[in-house]
């Protein structure tokens, strides 16, 4: 199969090639040439790697906008309303709007509050195309045996607040982190920062595939993340809604931190990664390069899952997202900026393993 495109973002640096075709054989890209082929499908548009949603809580989609009127503690805290809601309103939550949104992803990292839902959710999500990474935790955070169950039933461990975990349990998590992915919320609140949520994990040698939020992390702590090669996942809409600020992204980038993006609570924020990119771009108003923000989703998201990026290039798997908007593809003065600002609203075509899966608005 040969696909003719207006623009292709190639390689890990997402360099732009214009008016080019991609040749695919047996699910692998075999050639990319800067011309259109007379034998190709004239799809047009902008071809990107499939994006990654590096942090989402899908359960609360059962109760959209349930977070309105609540602060962080009263919504997601240990005595908050979220856990009871997701238990009481348990039903098949992958309806058409959500399924359409998540179909564009290569993978999602779901902080799954109920470990017993991991397998069911994995089946539901992967039926729509994306890889599902279920990161969960025990109902009883003091039970080390239950952490073994989480590692067996789910894909890994997701730690909501490290400070609630006693040292003997943290030792068990450290052991499990050698055999399964572990991610954790850190410095989401000022109290978590003051009590050293990140350093508690590092002191017990927990091998972290990523940390999430990091709102109050200081410069030297960001440098430590870079030195330890731990990606930081930020969720701009959620962080601003609940806390009124987010991590210092500009400083994090200067220190060499790998930044990825997530959409956080699906009951509060539709899992549209383009909305996160647009908000971040708006806040920094050009002080962070548009290409860097695009990389956060289309390259760094993979790293936050502990996997190698699946970028577009020869001998790479033929996975891609095509934004089919002719004016954007042909006339944009800044293609990275257009992807960020208009990606949510474009017609989209998904290619997985060299097969055109679907096209939708």
Provide the residue count of the chain: 361
Which domain CATH number covers 30?
Answer: 2.30.40.10
Please say which residue of 303, 327, 346 terminates a domain.
303
**Is the pLDDT score of 90 beyond 70?**
no
**Is the pLDDT score of 257 beyond 70?**
yes
More confident residue, 84 or 177: 177
> In angstroms, rounded to a whole number, what is the distance separating the alpha carbons of residues 106 and 36?
27
Please say which residue of 303, 324, 346 terminates a domain.
303
pLDDT category of residue 279 using cuts at 50, 70 and 90: very high
What is this structure's pTM?
0.94
Give the pLDDT of residue 136. Answer: 95
SS3 for 42-78 is ECCCEEECCCEEEEEECHHHHCCCCCCCCCHHHHHCC
**Is the pLDDT score of 263 beyond 70?**
yes
Query: DSSP readout, 84-136?
Result: HHHHHT-S----HHHHHHHTT-SEEEEEES-GGGHHHHHHHHHHTSSEEEEEE
**Is the pLDDT score of 359 beyond 70?**
no
Domain enclosing residue 332, as ranges: 2-49+310-360
- Which segments of 177-244 does DSSP mark as H helices, in order? 190-194, 197-203, 219-228, 236-242
Together in a domain, 106 and 225 = yes
Together in a domain, 27 and 118 = no
Give the pLDDT of residue 52. Answer: 98
Query: pLDDT tens digit string along 213-242?
Result: 999 999 999 999 999 999 999 999 999 999
Cα angle: 292, vertex 352, 184; to 5 degrees: 50
pLDDT category of residue 341 using cuts at 50, 70 and 90: very high
Least confident piece of the model among 48-52, 55-59, 282-286: 282-286
Please say which residue of 286, 303, 320 terminates a domain.
303
């Amino acid at each position: 199969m040969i696909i003719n495109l207006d623009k292709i973002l190639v390689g890990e640096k997402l360099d732009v090639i214009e008016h080019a075709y991609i040749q695919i054989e047996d699910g692998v890209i075999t050639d990319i040439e800067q011309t259109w082929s007379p034998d190709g499908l004239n799809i047009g548009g902008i071809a990107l790697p499939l994006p990654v949603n590096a942090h989402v809580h899908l359960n609360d989609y059962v109760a959209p906008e349930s977070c309105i009127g609540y602060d962080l503690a009263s919504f997601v805290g240990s005595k908050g309303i979220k856990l009871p809601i997701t238990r009481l309103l348990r039903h098949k939550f992958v309806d058409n709007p959500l399924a359409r949104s998540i179909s564009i992803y290569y993978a999602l990292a779901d902080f799954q509050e109920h470990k017993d839902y991991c397998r069911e959710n994995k089946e539901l999500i992967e039926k729509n195309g994306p890889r599902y990474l279920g990161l969960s935790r025990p109902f009883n955070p003091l039970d080390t045996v239950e952490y073994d169950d989480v590692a067996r039933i789910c894909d890994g461990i997701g730690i909501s607040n490290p400070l609630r975990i006693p040292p003997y349990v943290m030792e068990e998590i450290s052991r499990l982190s050698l055999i399964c992915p572990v991610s954790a919320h850190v410095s989401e609140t000022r109290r978590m920062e003051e009590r050293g949520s990140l350093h508690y994990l590092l002191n017990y040698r927990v091998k972290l595939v990523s940390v999430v939020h990091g709102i109050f992390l200081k410069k030297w702590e960001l440098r430590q993340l870079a030195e330890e090669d731990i990606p930081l996942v930020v969720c701009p809409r959620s962080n601003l809604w609940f806390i009124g600020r987010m991590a210092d992204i500009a400083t994090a980038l200067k220190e060499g931190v790998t930044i990825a993006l997530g959409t956080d609570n699906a009951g509060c924020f539709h899992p549209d990664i383009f909305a996160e990119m647009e908000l971040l771009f708006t806040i920094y108003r050009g002080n962070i390069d548009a290409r860097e923000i695009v990389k956060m989703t289309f390259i760094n998201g993979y790293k936050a899952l502990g996997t190698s990026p699946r970028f577009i290039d020869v001998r790479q798997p033929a996975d891609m997202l095509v934004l089919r908007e002719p004016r954007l593809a042909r006339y944009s003065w800044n293609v990275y900026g257009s992807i960020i600002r208009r990606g949510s609203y474009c017609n989209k075509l998904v290619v997985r393993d060299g097969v055109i899966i679907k096209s939708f608005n």
